[in-house]
Structure 1
Amino acid sequence: MSDRRGIPIILSSPSGAGKSTLSKLLMKWDPSITFSVSATTRKPRDGEVDGRDYYFRTRDEFQQMVENGEMLEHAEVFGNFYGSPFGPVETALKVGRDIIFDIDWQGGQQIRGSALAADLVTIFILPPSIAELENRLRGRGQDSDEVIADRMTKSRDEISHWAEYDYCIVNHDIADSEAQLKAILTAERLRRTRQSGLVDFVRDLNVQFGERAK
């Protein structure tokens, strides 16, 4: 059991800015950090496991979770619903596990209005330039020109919300950005309000002062 509550971390960025890579590096640095597992109404793909990759739900089941207030955020994407269930997140946070939400600004706004608002740390990853952002998308070799053009259009909207976040990292270099991300999380973990045993520790220090005065 950790001596602090876990930290919910929102990481957002335009596609290609390095968010997924940085998330994986952060979890490699500290394996206790985990991704928030989303619920979805889409069908499982080969190799995907319920509860590990996604919580696979029917549309009726998903809608019922929304109506019951069980979703921190949700949205419809290309005809399927996606969302972040509150229960598993709260269970992990209670035992001191930090959780990364890989969501866009819209999902971030919903979570800022949820029960996690007081604990939340939000980080936006910016590309060093728009030309470099497009180069990174093309370098993947996965998307057509049409898809890349669509991603670039969405990137402009995504970037326009950068000021809603607590921290911004300009990803010039992945190693430097990783170091900055670790520094942010280390500092947030050391916040006085996050250290649950600190009051008792300082109280004991004062007792020790009294004992020395005898």
Structure 2
Amino acid sequence: MSDDARPPARLTVLSGPSGVGKDSVIELIRLRAPWIWLSVSATTRRMRDYEVEGEHYFFVDRPEFERLRVGDQLLEWAEFAGNLYGTPRGPVEARLREGAPVLLKIDLQGARQVKAAMPDAQLVFLAPPSVEELRRRLIGRGTDDEETIRRRLAHADEELAAQSLFDVTIVNDYVERAADELVGLLSSPVLTPAQPQPQA
């Protein structure tokens, strides 16, 4: 395929409630579509033993993070549990200029910030087969206490209610199918709206 025939590269944002399976879908995409560039966030939290700098996160201290934020070098940022997280603008824009589709996994708040910073970004919502299934997944993890589960469920309800703000919804009933559908969206030059367009 010639350069002129290639679909234009764009940023695709993947979001969805905790427990819906975003990481599982992304791991399959890593295997099946290595040409898709997965954006790496910056964070001020400490690196965990299994993590690799530049692969899982860019690990920075708070002054460096603040320098990036004040200098408009982050597409989005947020604070969780006393740690800062954000998406560096430079690497994303560089990959798009090179013609590579970029996939970014962030939460609802971050998705809104990215859409404001890059209006052409495609927002994809990964939804569970049902609310009951999502609750079962969250409770069945066995790694969280009751209060954490309660907070996660409340946050999931908030995110599910915002589904209409996204351009496309993918239902994660089977992770293989969800991954293939997302790869198809990243490969397509046409943005498919989630909501019907008003008729003239």
Q: Does 1:103 align with 2:106?
A: yes
Q: TM-score, normalised by structure 2?
A: 0.85
Query: Is residue 58 from structure 1 mapped to residue 41 from structure 2 by the alignment?
Result: no
User: Following the alignment from structure 2 to structure 1, what is the Cα–Cα distance between the partners of residues 58 and 171?
Assistant: 33
The alignment partner of 2:144 has SS state of: coil
Q: CA separation in 2, counterparts of 1:97 and 1:28?
A: 16
For 2:197, the equivalent position in structure 1 comes to: none
**Whole-angstrom distance in 2 between the partners of 1:176 and 1:18:** 12
SS at match of 1:23: helix
Could you say which residue in structure 1 is the equivalent of 2:167? 166
Query: Which deviates more, 6-15 or 178-187?
Result: 178-187
Report the CA distance between 1:146 and its aligned residue. Answer: 2.4
For structure 2, the residue ranges without an aligned partner over 5 or more in a row are 192-200
Distance in 1 of aligned mates of 2:100 and 2:159? 28
Larger Rg: 1
Q: Which residue pairs with 1:208 in the alignment?
A: none
Structure showing the higher helix proportion among its residues: 1
Give 2:157's aligned residue: 156
Following superposition, the deviation at residue 10 of structure 1 comes to 0.5
Unaligned ranges ≥5, structure 1: 192-214
CA distance in 1, matches of 2:54, 2:68: 16
Cα-Cα RMSD: 1.9
The corresponding residue for 1:178 is 179
Deviation for aligned residue 1:33:
1.3
The verdict on how the C-alpha distance between 1:55 and 1:175 changes in structure 2, with shifts beyond 3 A counting, is closer
Q: Deviations over 1:175-209 (max 9, x none)?
A: 33233323323323x67xxxxxxxxxxxxxxxxxx
Alignment TM-score, normalising by the size of structure 1 = 0.80
2-side partners of 1:124 and 1:142: how far apart? 25
Aligned to 2:196: none
- What is the distance in 1 between the residues matched to 2:178 and 2:146? 28
CA distance in 1, matches of 2:131, 2:146: 16
CA distance in 1, matches of 2:127, 2:40: 24
Instruction: Say whether the 8 Å CA contact 1:23–1:100 is kept in structure 2.
Output: no
How many residues of Structure 1 are paired with residues of Structure 2 in the alignment?
Answer: 187
Return closer, same or farther for 1:130/1:99 CA change in 2, 3 Å cut-off.
same
SS at match of 2:124: strand
Letter in 1 for 2:89: F
d(CA) in 2 for partners of 1:84, 1:136: 28
In structure 1, the residue matched to 2:39 is: 36
Structure 1 outlier segments of 4+, above 3 Å: none
